[in-house]
Structure formats: C-alpha cells, structure tokens
Structure 1
Amino acid sequence: MLRTPSSPSPLLQALGGHVTSPPPVWLMRQAGRYLPEYRSVRNRVPSFLDLCLNPALAAEVTLQPLRRFAFDAAIVFSDILIVPYALGQKVEFKEGEGPKLEAIRDADAVAKLDTEGAGARLAPVYETVERATAELPETVPLIGFCGAPWTVATYMVEGGGSKEHLAARFLAYHQPETFQRLIDILVEISAHYLAGQAKAGARVLQIFDSWAGVLSEDEFTRWCIAPTRQIVQRVKAEVPGTPIIGFPRGAGLLAERYARDTGIDAIGCDTAMPVGWMQRLQVHIPVQGNLDPVLLLAGGAAFDARVEAILGTLGAGPFIFNLGHGILPDTPVENVERLVSLVTTWQA
C-alpha cells in the first residue's frame, strides 16, 4: 500500500510511489551555461570551482532556473569533484579542457588523502543549500547530490575525464586492495556529505554514477552496487526519510539489480535505456528520465513526439520527467520552455 503523501510536492509524491498527473519535471544541470544569467554570474569569479565554493553566488545560480521555468525541484549548484577537493586532492577546472586532478595511482597517494579536513572544505556547499532552501516554496524541494565512489574514483585515478577509464580499471584489477581503500574513503566522505546536505535543507538526494557503464558484471557489482548500498544505508540511518535517487548511467540490464540491491528510492535512467524496460522497472520503483539532451538541443517535431512518447509510456506510473544526462550548454532557452510546457500540461 502506498503511504499517504506528507507534502504537496509532486516530486516527493512521485518518490513515494504515487502517480502524479502531470508528472514532476526537473533537469540534470538545469542550473548552468545555457542560461545567460548563469554566464553573467560565472564571469564574476575566477574559476568554476570558485563559483561552487561561493555560497551566495552558488545559491543564486541554483535558483535561477526556477525563476524561468516551472520545475518541480531545484538542484544545488556544485560538482561531483567537490569530494576529491575536500579530500585535499588538487582539482582544477580549465575552460575548454574539463577537470584536471593530480592523479592517484598507488597506495601512497591514497594514504595522503586528508579525511580529517574534508568536513571543513565541504561547509560552503552546506551554506549554499541553506541559502537556496530558504528561498524555495514548500512544493519545490532542493536536491542535494554527490558522485558515486566508482565515478569519482575514475577522475581521481585518471587525473581528469576519460573515455575508456583505463587507469582506473587497471588499478582496480591490478591493485584491488589499493582501489578498495580509495572506494572505502569515498563511501565514508560521500555518506557524510549527503547527510550534511540533507541536514542543511536538501529534501531529496541523488547519487550520480556517470561511468557505471564501463564495468563488467562482476566489477559493476563490486565497485558500483556495493559502495552505493553502503552510502544509502549510512545516509538513511543518519537522516531517515530522505529519498535517494540513484543514476547508474550505462548500466543497461544491470539497472534492475542496481535498483534492487542498493536500497535507493528511485532510479534515474539514461537515454539508451528503452522506455519499455523503464516501464518494467517502474513496477518495483519510481523511475526518472530519459529524454536525449541532444534532442532537447535540436527541438522540433521529433522532440515533441519523443516527449509525448515518454509521457505516454511512463506517465501512468510513479515517474519523474528528466533527461538521460545533463542539459547541454548550447541548448536554446525556448526549447526548455517548450519541454516544461509539454510536461506540465500533459494528462494521463
């Protein structure tokens, strides 16, 4: 039996297993470069990391999309690499190059991570959450988030982004004890970080495992499912009742096992996930997704038709409309307006 909704928030109702018509809608990376007002704020600080760590400006950027669009949630403006930064790893964001980190390739480098000082370095994000939630209506919860240990570890080991994640995968195979120690550290700090965001006012949490799809079945179980389960258990023990969305991008057929074994409250699905398979998952757990961000960029008749098809297939169950990955920087604002209009006027 479904529990009685305790909030008028459509997102919280959907996360509680209720069918809402129309379904709630928010977009990954909805606060960002496609908005001119974001670019104006970004130009006021030296770097992207400086913006993430400036609570006043980060809260402003968090709220900007809500002033334009009828989104059902805000998501705190931050980045998954705040966690390596908090652990004392050198992290830089260079325009046109993506993130650059001082690569961790052995046990000595893992041992140098500063777990004691991490809490203080995360404090600006908690202040951002407090500032943003103070401005949001009761019906619009703020989503806090972190990167999953596997995904964050890939950046830490590779020293930045990667297509194949060869260094991370090699370390996991060649020095599993060292890699396990890194994952254990990330589990501990990530659980603390998510709980801290919830205590600061975030009413929903999401775990981004953006590179889950590069692992084999056994490695997926070890490096994606097991650490995520540990984080979920720790967070739920510390802040009971806070729903957690898991986003195992590229998990494919393993998404069902991920949903079952991690203890998450809803699963985000990427663009490659067939909506028919999402419908199968929906019998057991609320689903979120999965419009192609490139289609949102393109707009037009194909875009309208796909939005209607997703709604028609998934709208009869507990469902949150979102993209299959983050919104692209060149996306026209009017296309986002069109998307929100299509979703918010849809009826089952």
Structure 2
Amino acid sequence: MTGLDQVPYLLRAARKEPLDRPPVWMMRQAGRYMKVYRDLRDKYPSFRERSENADLAIEISLQPWRAFKPDGVILFSDILTPLTGMGIPFDIIESKGPIIEPAIRTREQIDQVRTLDPEESLPYIRTILQTLRQEVGNEAAVLGFVGAPWTLAAYAVEGKGSKTYSVIKGMAFSEPDMLHTLLGKLADNIAAYVRYQIDCGAQVVQMFDSWAGQLSPMDYRTFALPYQQRVVQQVKATHPDTPMILYISGSAGVLELMGESGVDIVSVDWTVDMADARRRLGPDIGVQGNVDPAALFGAKPFIRDRILDTIRKAGNRGHILNLGHGILPGTPEDNAAYFFETAKQVDQLMACA
C-alpha cells in the first residue's frame, strides 16, 4: 500500500490531485430519510439530546457510513450548537425548527454575548469526532461543520426561521454598527469552534451560510463576506492545511463572492450549472456538488445520467460529488444507495459511455 492510499480519498480531492472518480458524500446524509434514524428518533425525540449525547451522535453519524460507505462522514450536530456556550439559549422543535428566546434585538444583549470556550461548553464534540476517526480510519474523511456569522446572527435576531428576513435586514439597514458588533463576536467564536473541531479530529470543515443567499451582492459584501473571511483567516493562521468548504443555498448571484472568502472549496447548489460554476470560480478553487436532491426521486437511469453530467462538467481535479443541498426527507433509501454505488463506479461508466 502506497502513502497515497493512506490518505482519505476526499482529502486527495481537496488537495486537487487528479483522480479517477470524485469522492462522494451527501449533506444531511445522517437523517430522517433513513429508517434506522427514524427508529432512533422515536426513542429519543429531542434533537438536542440526539446531537449532544455523544453516544447517540456517534451512532447517527455512522448510520450512513454503515449503509453506504461514503467518502466523507460528517459530525451529526446543528449549526446552532455553539450558541449556548455564547450565552444564547435555543431549542429545536420537531417540525418547527430552531427557536431562540429571547431573540437578540438590543445592544445590551449583544454586549452580553460571551466568548466561546468549546472545551468547556462542548466537550462531547471531542468524544464524537475522536470516535468517528477511530471508526472510519483512513477509509473516509471525517468532516466537521459550523454555521457562518451572518446565518447564526439571522437565527439569533429573528428568533426562528424566516421567509422574509425582515428583522435581521431591518437591523442591518437601520443599525448596522450594532449588527457588525454581533457579527464580529460570532466570527471570532466560530473560528475558535472550527479550530476546536480540527483539534478533536475533523479533517475537513464545512461552513454553512445558509441564509446569505437572501442577501443582495452589495449586502453580501457588507454583512456576510467580511465575516466569512474573518473565520477563514483565523483558522488558516493555526491550521493552514485543513480544507474548508463554504455552502450557501441560493448562491447563484454571489458565487464569485463565495470564492473570495478564502475557503478551499465552494459547495455549489443545483441552480448553477457545474461547468458555469467552474468557469466563474476559476481553477484555484475546488467545487462540491451539485446534483439536485429531488433527482433522487427519479428513475435510476436518470440519477445515473445526472451524476455523470455533473462529473463531466466538474472535471477530474478538485471536485467532491454531493447534492446541491441536503438529501430530502422521503428520499427512497434504495436511490440513496444507488447514488453512492454509481459515484464509486463512475470511472467504469465513463469508459463505457
């Protein structure tokens, strides 16, 4: 076995080595489309218990690994997890989503946001990531993830999910200095959390700025990009060799700006043609994605063709195959299995095409 064989395949792609096939994993690959997860959820109905109890989170993280052997195994958690360590309480209600009460609306509340000490407030993260590394060895890369400053601020200020983002945008447009203070605190805390995840065993970290796609390019440059950069710069100062991925839903209008964040890989949603994404991002930035999650409700020949089309357009260097968003509830498990199987046989399929 050569030294290259000892390196998880996903890390080789992140380093932009030419490969016969791209590595493959799915966002939300551990979750409710799997019967084994639903059975466990019925037994432990609290999401926070499932994600903050190390034994449960390890089991859930490994469910898709046992079923499909993806090239990446991601920590089962939530982007809001570190908020409690900052003094921002939250809960996640099944079928309703996150609730933050009281929402952060005043300068006094922002001043009270604490500096995060991940070892003190999130000790179970170390147990989860270290165990995942032991379980998968070099057969897969272990991924950590965090929320980006704008998205965490949006949850904290809105107090819940939103369709209009009117409260956070109202703060941005009427009291920008106050919001910038919050964003700065969040950026520094998120950077500390990323570094902690890496120290605990994460080999790649994905940053989700889920709500940044709702910003105009002008406002993205003001309220999202500088704080993404702040996180990345702090992480790269201490962990320069750990690849970072940035994902935004609805990112077509800000794709080039995502490339300015400093991350190694931009995760592309399905509304952007992968060939166009490659052109817009340039040769120095890797790409991840971007099959439409709804494609997995289609017939298997359709799924295969979408996989092949994405891979052809992405090329054989610096591409991680994924969906353009998280796998959808109700996706047939057999089709998820087929997605992984096809991705791992793509060099043979390409040769036959």
Q: Which residue of 2 aligns with 1:16?
A: 15
CA drift at 1:213 = 1.1
Letter of the aligned partner of 2:94 in structure 1? Answer: E
Q: In 1, distance between residues paired with 2:201 and 2:299?
A: 35
Letter of the aligned partner of 2:97 in structure 1? Answer: G
Q: Which residue of 1 aligns with 2:289?
A: 289
CA drift at 1:244 = 0.6
CA drift at 1:160 = 0.8
TM-score by length of 1: 0.94
**Contact 1:17–1:318 (Cα < 8 Å) also in 2:** yes
2:236 equivalent to 1:236: yes
2:20 equivalent to 1:38: no
CA drift at 1:118 = 5.7
Q: In 1, distance between residues paired with 2:4 and 2:285?
A: 16
Q: Secondary structure at the match of 1:31?
A: coil
Letter of the aligned partner of 1:173 in structure 2? Answer: F
Q: In 2, distance between residues paired with 1:275 and 1:74?
A: 24
**Contact 1:282–1:317 (Cα < 8 Å) also in 2:** no
Query: Once superposed, what is the RMSD of the aligned Cα atoms?
Result: 1.8
Q: In 2, distance between residues paired with 1:299 and 1:153?
A: 40
Q: 1:89 to 1:59 in 2, by over 3 A?
A: same
Q: In 1, distance between residues paired with 2:324 and 2:45?
A: 31
**Contact 2:150–2:183 (Cα < 8 Å) also in 1:** yes
**Farther off after superposition, 239-248 or 71-80:** 239-248
Q: Secondary structure at the match of 1:33?
A: coil
CA drift at 1:299 = 4.1
Q: In 2, distance between residues paired with 1:32 and 1:325?
A: 14
Deviations 1:193-229 (A, max 9, x none): 1110100011111101111111122211122211111
Q: In 1, distance between residues paired with 2:49 and 2:272?
A: 35
Q: 1:297 to 1:110 in 2, by over 3 A?
A: farther
Percent identity of equivalent pairs: 35
Q: 1:5 to 1:277 in 2, by over 3 A?
A: farther
For structure 1, the residue ranges without an aligned partner over 5 or more in a row are: none
Q: In 2, distance between residues paired with 1:122 and 1:212?
A: 26
For structure 2, the residue ranges without an aligned partner over 5 or more in a row are: none
**Contact 1:297–1:328 (Cα < 8 Å) also in 2:** no
Letter of the aligned partner of 2:287 in structure 1? Answer: V
**Contact 1:275–1:314 (Cα < 8 Å) also in 2:** yes
- Equivalenced residues, count: 344
CA drift at 1:55 = 0.7
Q: In 2, distance between residues paired with 1:341 and 1:187?
A: 38
**Contact 2:217–2:253 (Cα < 8 Å) also in 1:** no
Counterparts of 1:109-128 in structure 2, within 5 Å, are 109-115=109-115, 119-128=119-128
Q: In 2, distance between residues paired with 1:137 and 1:118?
A: 25
Deviations 1:214-258 (A, max 9, x none): 112221112221111111111112223111111133232421232
Q: Which residue of 1 aligns with 2:266?
A: 267
Deviations 1:300-347 (A, max 9, x none): 443332222112222333211001111112111101111112111112
Q: In 2, distance between residues paired with 1:69 and 1:110?
A: 43
**Contact 1:142–1:203 (Cα < 8 Å) also in 2:** yes
Q: Which residue of 1 aligns with 2:323?
A: 323
Counterparts of 1:83-232 in structure 2, within 5 Å, are 83-102=82-101, 103-115=103-115, 119-232=119-232
**Contact 1:244–1:266 (Cα < 8 Å) also in 2:** yes
**Contact 2:118–2:193 (Cα < 8 Å) also in 1:** no
CA drift at 1:117 = 5.9
Q: Which residue of 1 aligns with 2:65?
A: 66
Q: In 1, distance between residues paired with 2:118 and 2:196?
A: 12
**Farther off after superposition, 214-223 or 150-159:** 214-223
Letter of the aligned partner of 2:86 in structure 1? Answer: L
TM-score by length of 2: 0.92
Q: 1:5 to 1:262 in 2, by over 3 A?
A: farther
CA drift at 1:6 = 8.7
2:306 equivalent to 1:302: no
Q: Secondary structure at the match of 1:246?
A: strand
Q: In 2, distance between residues paired with 1:56 and 1:113?
A: 30
Letter of the aligned partner of 1:233 in structure 2? Answer: Q
Which aligned segments of 4 or more residues in structure 1 are displaced greater than 4 angstroms? 4-7, 116-119
**Contact 1:271–1:325 (Cα < 8 Å) also in 2:** yes
Q: In 1, distance between residues paired with 2:5 and 2:257?
A: 29
Q: In 2, distance between residues paired with 1:116 and 1:9?
A: 31
Q: Secondary structure at the match of 2:10?
A: helix
Q: In 2, distance between residues paired with 1:233 and 1:6?
A: 30
Q: Secondary structure at the match of 2:207?
A: strand
Q: In 2, distance between residues paired with 1:209 and 1:215?
A: 11
